[in-house]
Amino acid sequence: MSYDVIIGLEVHVQLQTQTKIFCGCSTMFNPDHPNVQTCPVCLGLPGALPVLNGHGFRLAVKTALGLNCQIAPYTKWDRKQYFYPDLPKGYQISQFDLPFSHDGHVDVEIAADAKSGKAASSRRVRILRAHMEEDAGKNMHDESGSGRDSKVDLNRAGTPLVEIVTQPDLRSSDEARRFLEELKLLLTYLEVSDCNMQEGSLRCDANVNLHVHQPDGSKVATPIVEVKNLNSFRFTEQAIEHEIARQWKWFQETGIKLGDKGGYKSTRGYNPDRGETYILREKEEAADYRYFPDPDLVPVLMSESQVAEIRSEMPEAPAPRRTRFESEYQLTGYDAAVIIDQGREFADYFEGVVKTCKDGKQAANWLTQDVLRETKQREQSITEFAVRPEVLGALLDRINQKQITIKSARDVFGELLTESDQDSAVPAIGRIDEIIAAKGLAIVEDTGAIDSAIAAVLGRNAKAIADFKGGNEKAIGALIGQVMKAVKGADPQTVKEKIITAMSQS
């Protein structure tokens, strides 16, 4: 028997607004100073009323447009009611039957896997809906075991979230991780969320089950498990892996299918230390949240022109940008992906370099190797990197103009970085030529100088000439080296050709 893995994700993304969704309090991550970013509204004090943060709603719309979702012309707010200490009003303001957006998709590129021999592929993950809601606060329980009071921090209460719900379109833990990576890339590109998982800006629930192939060709579903609150991509991947193995074992042992007695949908948590999921709620207790429209808020109407206006403010999303990089700059799919996946600023940097040097391939080589290496070494983001795109572009342009060699360009690049490391200044374009001049790196076009250097070198290397003529082609290397030493900046290819010509004439 074999099986298909069926995965759907629910992702909570924190929008990067300055203030909360329904009040003016700061959304800053501030766990060390609990309850300082609060007011009557987010404390749920009697009489306080919510007012929608219009900027937050626009960010939510951008998010949905990035997910290729439809934007609802009419959306409203509903109260999801349950009691919990981190929920000061006794309800969460969310969206129930009329979410502000629905029916989108994200295309996930799956790289080829050399180990399994799987070819590269693409998976379209359909988005069922994306809705907006407020975050709850945070309960802090006494973990000393001495039974002290639990505490509640409401700094986070009222932070704007978008909940993104996918269709069960993912087929492996790897695809799930890739989807999350692509989602994070998209949201950070759009500058709608920082997706900082340590600070809880991106949280994920995974719905997992198996469709087991039967001998008659039919498929049987195992009970669906929702693994809650996965706060890293790695844990998501691991939790899904564990679930697949656990469900497969369980199915083989019991044969219990979804919907059978004992085959209810259940909710589990993930313990990363043990690498295992554990049961949270055994049976699907149909929690009755008694949703109803929040009478304190008015519905939001979105006209097509308002949506168009928001769309016009949006930067290019990563997926179309990858395609454009391949066609416009003749990059390989691999290079385009490496550059785009570094984030929007890195891709912007790339385009800045190309603008000056007019050579996409050259720029891609440098970015994916030299620039990535140097930024990583310095633990810098691309925006902090001292060599600005127009400077690097100018340097690469000198290679293309055959003014310096690639090797010399690397020297200049290294020198620019060394200098800025010392005085933390941002090098100007002019410095490139100064270094070239000081180090004598300019390619020497003066064939006279090269010819006389060759004559001198050949004159004192009779043995090498003989060796070369005798068939030892390596012997020419030493000759080229000597000429190059004498004439800094000479193009090695030119030198080699000239030496061969000179020797054949002697």
Partner 1 sequence: MLSPIASLPLSTLIEKLRSAELRSVDLTTAFMDSIADHDAKLGAFVHLDRDVALQQAAEVDAKRDAGESQGPLAGIPVAVKDVLCMKSQPATCASRMLKGFVPPYDATVIAKLKQAGVVVIGRTNMDEFAMGSSGENSAFGPTRNPWDTERIPGGSSSGSAVAVAARMAPLSLGSDTGGSIRQPAGLCGIVGMKPTYGRVSRYGLIAYASSLDQIGPFATDVTGAALLLEAIAGHDPRDSTSVNKPVPAYSQSVDQPLAGLKIGVPVEHFAEGLAPDVEKAVRAALEVYKSLGAELKEVHLPHSKYAVATYYLIATSEASSNLARYDGVHYGHRAEKFDSLGEMYEASRGEGFGDEVKRRIMLGVFALSAGYADKYYTKALQVRRLIRSDFDAAFGEVNVIAGPVTPTAAFKLGEKTSDPLSMYLSDIYTISANLAGLPGMSIPCGFTAEGLPIGLQLQAAPFEEERLFRAARMYERETDWHTRLPPLAH
Residues in touch with Zn ion (CB under 5 A) = 23, 25, 39, 41-42
> Is residue 147 within the footprint of partner 1 (CB under 8 A)?
no
Question: Closest separation between CB of residue 23 and Zn ion, Å?
Answer: 3
152 binds partner 1 (CB under 8 A): yes
Encoded one letter per residue, x for contact with partner 1 by CB under 8 A and - for no contact, window 259-298 reads: ---------------------------x-x-xxx--xxxx
Amino acid at 156: R
Residue with tokens 């609990």: 34
Size of interface with partner 1, in residues (CB under 8 A): 29
Part of the chain binding partner 1 (CB under 8 A), chosen from 55-63, 76-84, 380-388, 454-462:
76-84
The number of CA neighbours under 13 Å toward the Cβ of 500 is: 11
Candidates 85-93, 178-186, 221-229, 241-249; binding stretch for partner 1 (CB under 8 A): 85-93
Using CB distances below 5 to 8 A depending on partner kind, what does residue 89 bind out of Zn ion, partner 1, none?
A: partner 1
**Residue 283 Cβ, how far from partner 1 at the closest point, in Å?**
16
CB 73, min distance to partner 1, A: 19
Is there binding between residue 140 and partner 1 (CB under 8 A)?
no
Which residue in the set 1, 49, 406, 466 belongs to the binding site for partner 1 (CB under 8 A)? Answer: 49
Which residue's structure tokens are 């969320």?
Answer: 193
Question: In whole angstroms, how close is the CB of 153 to partner 1 at the nearest point?
Answer: 12
Q: Which of 12, 52, 306, 433: binder of partner 1 (CB under 8 A)?
A: 52
Give the up-direction half-sphere exposure of residue 71: CA atoms within 13 A in the CB hemisphere.
23
Q: What span, in angstroms and rounded, lies between the C-alpha atoms of 355 and 324?
A: 15
Nearest-angstrom CA–CA distance, 119 and 102: 32
Measured from the CB atom, is 35 or 167 closer to Zn ion? Answer: 35
Q: Give residue 270's identity as a one-letter amino acid code.
A: Y
The only residue of 9, 21, 69, 79 in contact with partner 1, by rule CB under 8 A = 79
Q: Residue by residue, what is the 3-state secondary structure of 303-320?
A: CHHHHHHHHHCCCCCHHH
* Interaction between residue 143 and partner 1 (CB under 8 A): no
List the structure tokens of 47. Answer: 């009489």
151 binds partner 1 (CB under 8 A): no
Q: In angstroms, what CA-CA distances link 196 with 12, 29, 45, 202? A: 12, 10, 30, 6
Shortest distance, CB of residue 20 to Zn ion, whole angstroms? 5
Residue 299 interacts with which of Zn ion, partner 1, none, CB < 5 to 8 Å by class: none
Query: In the block, which residue shows the tokens 């490391």?
Result: 421
Binding site partner of 290, from Zn ion, partner 1, none, Cβ cut-off 5-8 A by kind: partner 1
Residues 428-457 that bind partner 1 (CB under 8 A): none
Given 12, 34, 43, 374, the residue binding partner 1 (CB under 8 A): 43
Half-sphere exposure of 50 (CA within 13 A, CB side): 30
Please name the residue that has the structure tokens 């960010």. Answer: 59
| Binding partner of residue 475 among Zn ion, partner 1, none, CB cut-off 5 to 8 Å per kind | none
Nearest to Zn ion of 39, 372 (CB atom): 39
Start-end of H helices in 460-491: 462-469, 475-486
DSSP state letter for 448: H
- Say how far apart CA 65 and CA 69 lie, in whole Å: 5
**Is 385 a binder of partner 1 (CB under 8 A)?**
no
Instruction: Assign residue 358 a region (left: φ > 0; alpha: ψ between -120 and 50; beta: otherwise).
Output: left
Using CA atoms, how far apart are residues 40 and 49, in angstroms rounded to an integer?
8
In 3-49, alpha helices (H):
none
> Footprint of partner 1 on this chain (CB under 8 A)?
40, 43-52, 79, 81, 83, 85, 88-91, 152, 286, 288, 290-292, 295-298
